[in-house]
Chain A
């Protein structure tokens, strides 16, 4: 029957439209469902594994664990890390390679974590910061070893 079909179509049409409106109406009146995060007022807590930027850990004696082996530099796909080494005189008179500057280009970094995995001495790790914006890109080139820091005892 044409008329019956027609009425059925109209009915199902209205039903589908109204059920959609019911859903949006539900959300309109149920404000507890709102998921907005009020970002600058309420800072998000990032997960402990979140990769924000590469940092070098220093202990309270201002010592780091980096031997300057360049494993991270080799592992990096984007040439983000540049390690400058120097020859340091050991107490026993031998010369030994040591880290002078650990240059880290945050602007080139893709946070792929390969350098962290490659590091044999766990000298570097990922920090959970994420607000990296600066006014000048030269500020993104960072020196990771703290001034005056030296290699921790016993790290080879």
Chain B
């Protein structure tokens, strides 16, 4: 059976046979870079189209349906429009930071891609502190948003950036704590170990109440971290017109837009890895035959299926709920989510120490 693991391995072997190791590494890095960037481009197109269709159907509309077959080329056409649009820099803006901010945001989004395991043996960087790396790098993105808000010389942008700063710093905590639940149960920070631990069933279906609680907290926290409605206070179009990216246009705006969707993809990928077994097919304990049938579906399909289900859930939130107010947002985090997450962590730790749980 051909799998991505075999392809990557055969490329590696073919290159190693004729070239010296340094050159092989460089070529492989270049290939990986191109793959990541093209994945980004495709993801941007697909997710924006998905969002527009999801919102359209929920709003009893048809959504884009004119450009290309059933409107599939709509987002490509929009990207083209954004590419050829003039990128204005407002007078009085800090030009350097203004131009740097979208790049920073997109680079951070790319960095988090590194430790994610797409299928068995198909991973850019098998780092043993994968989860820690992800939560560390993802919090750098807020600097880009703060930079954009500050450099725009616009009060709406500044307010949006400040809100975003407060929001991401707060929600980072409960997102981190909910991730720790799984880390404690698995006993490892490595993404591969976490996936391997779900060989006999995904964490969410193993029947642990702390895992369920931490999943709910995780979903809420990452929705907030990615600035999605109902927590889209940084943009809050009815209050701050467009928040931190009010002054951005053309491709620089497109980068922010792309980064938002890539961030959603990544947090959903993390969520799928932690709670839904990553690329691991749906296994039930010792039902060997059932598990065997499930294995016929390739891991990459499982992984993307799980990610897109989670993305759909987050989009569903966005098109149903009103936005929270800024003080309610922080209240929710500091008064409800954080204490619950901490208590949950305590519970998990007790479980882990006593060994009273299904591995």
Chain A residues close to B by CB (< 8 Å):
17, 20-21, 23-25, 27-29, 31, 33-36, 38
Question: Which one, A20, A28, A31, contacts B54 given CB within 8 A?
Answer: A28
Interface pair A28/B57, CB less than 8 Å apart: yes
User: A34-B62, A36-B62 known; A21 and B316 CB under 8 Å?
Assistant: yes
A-B contact pairs, 14 of them (CB 8 A): A17-B321, A21-B317, A21-B320, A23-B320, A24-B58, A25-B316, A27-B57, A28-B57, A33-B60, A34-B60, A35-B60, A35-B61, A36-B62, A38-B62
Chain B: minimal CB distance from A49 (Å): 28
Interface pair A20/B321, CB less than 8 Å apart: yes
Chain A: minimal CB distance from B317 (Å): 8
Residues of A within 8 A of B59 (CB): 27
Chain B: minimal CB distance from A17 (Å): 7
Quick one: CB contact mask for B43-71 with A, threshold 8 Å, 1 for yes?
00000000000100111111000000000
Interface pair B61/A34, CB less than 8 Å apart: yes
Residues of B within 8 A of A17 (CB): 320-321
Quick one: CB contact mask for B21-60 with A, threshold 8 Å, 1 for yes?
0000000000000000000000000000000001001111
Q: Is B319 among interface residues, defined by CB-CB distance under 8 A?
A: yes
Once bound together, how far apart are the Cα atoms of A21 and B318, in whole Å? 10
Interface pair B321/A27, CB less than 8 Å apart: no
Question: Which one, A24, A34, A35, A36, contacts B316 given CB within 8 A?
Answer: A24
Question: Which one, A24, A29, A34, contacts B320 given CB within 8 A?
Answer: A24
When C-beta atoms are compared, the residue in chain A nearest to B216 turns out to be A14
Interface pair A28/B58, CB less than 8 Å apart: yes
Residues of A within 8 A of B62 (CB): 34, 36, 38
Once bound together, how far apart are the Cα atoms of A121 and B115, in whole Å? 83
Residues of B within 8 A of A24 (CB): 58, 316, 319-320
| Other A-B pairs beyond A17-B321, A21-B317, A27-B60, 5, CB < 8 Å | A23-B320, A24-B319, A34-B60, A35-B60, A36-B61
Interface pair A27/B58, CB less than 8 Å apart: yes
Once bound together, how far apart are the Cα atoms of A21 and B57, in whole Å? 13
Most central of A17, A20, A27, A28 by chain B CB within 10 Å:
A28
Once bound together, how far apart are the Cα atoms of A34 and B62, in whole Å? 7
Question: Which one, B54, B57, B321, contacts A34 given CB within 8 A?
Answer: B57
Chain B: minimal CB distance from A64 (Å): 43
Residues of B within 8 A of A35 (CB): 60-61
When C-beta atoms are compared, the residue in chain A nearest to B54 turns out to be A28
Residues of B within 8 A of A20 (CB): 320-321
Chain B: minimal CB distance from A98 (Å): 52
When C-beta atoms are compared, the residue in chain A nearest to B53 turns out to be A28
Residues of B within 8 A of A21 (CB): 316-317, 320
Residues of B within 8 A of A27 (CB): 57-60
Chain A: minimal CB distance from B213 (Å): 12
When C-beta atoms are compared, the residue in chain B nearest to A34 turns out to be B60
When C-beta atoms are compared, the residue in chain B nearest to A20 turns out to be B320
Chain A: minimal CB distance from B344 (Å): 14
Once bound together, how far apart are the Cα atoms of A20 and B316, in whole Å? 10
Residues of A within 8 A of B316 (CB): 21, 24-25, 28
Residues of B within 8 A of A38 (CB): 62
Once bound together, how far apart are the Cα atoms of A10 and B319, in whole Å? 22
Once bound together, how far apart are the Cα atoms of A23 and B321, in whole Å? 11
Once bound together, how far apart are the Cα atoms of A62 and B317, in whole Å? 63
Once bound together, how far apart are the Cα atoms of A23 and B54, in whole Å? 14
Residues of B within 8 A of A33 (CB): 60
Interface pair A31/B320, CB less than 8 Å apart: no
Residues of A within 8 A of B54 (CB): 28
Residues of B within 8 A of A28 (CB): 54, 57-58, 316
Once bound together, how far apart are the Cα atoms of A25 and B59, in whole Å? 10
Residues of B within 8 A of A23 (CB): 320
Residues of A within 8 A of B61 (CB): 34-36
Residues of A within 8 A of B319 (CB): 24
Most central of B54, B61, B319, B320 by chain A CB within 10 Å:
B320
Chain B: minimal CB distance from A112 (Å): 33
When C-beta atoms are compared, the residue in chain A nearest to B313 turns out to be A21
Quick one: CB contact mask for B306-349 with A, threshold 8 Å, 1 for yes?
00000000001101110000000000000000000000000000
Interface pair B57/A31, CB less than 8 Å apart: yes
Chain A: minimal CB distance from B336 (Å): 9
When C-beta atoms are compared, the residue in chain B nearest to A19 turns out to be B320
Once bound together, how far apart are the Cα atoms of A31 and B63, in whole Å? 12
Once bound together, how far apart are the Cα atoms of A21 and B59, in whole Å? 12
Residues of A within 8 A of B321 (CB): 17, 20
Most central of B57, B61, B316, B319 by chain A CB within 10 Å:
B57
Chain A: minimal CB distance from B249 (Å): 27
